[in-house]
Amino acid sequence: MNQPATQAAFRTWMCVVCGFIYDEAAGLPEEGIAPGTRWEDVPEDWTCPDCGVTKDDFEMMPL
């Protein structure tokens, strides 16, 4: 019996400017980003809802 590949754990990403946290598991439904949306699937033109910086100013948080 084949088991489905275990999916990688959801990660969190923090804005280095203001500290806003993007949680892949929660997404940002109010911004049109569904729960479970991986960071790499967040649109490149998305900006931090608190301070307006781009994805380049976010760092992955340790597990």
Q: What residue segments make up the domains of the chain, in order of their start?
A: 12-61
Is 51 annotated as contributing to ligand binding?
Answer: yes
Which of 3.40.640.10, 2.40.50.140, 3.30.2350.10, 2.20.28.10 is the CATH number of 12-61? 2.20.28.10
Please compute the mean of the pLDDT values over residues 16-27 and round it to a whole number. Answer: 98
Is 59 annotated as contributing to ligand binding?
Answer: no
Q: Does the pLDDT value for residue 45 go beyond 90?
A: yes
Amino acid letter for position 3: Q
Mean pLDDT of all residues in the chain? 92
Residue 1 pLDDT? 47
Task: Tell me the pTM.
Answer: 0.85
d(CA 19, CA 9): 21
Is 15 annotated as contributing to ligand binding?
Answer: yes
d(CA 47, CA 16): 13
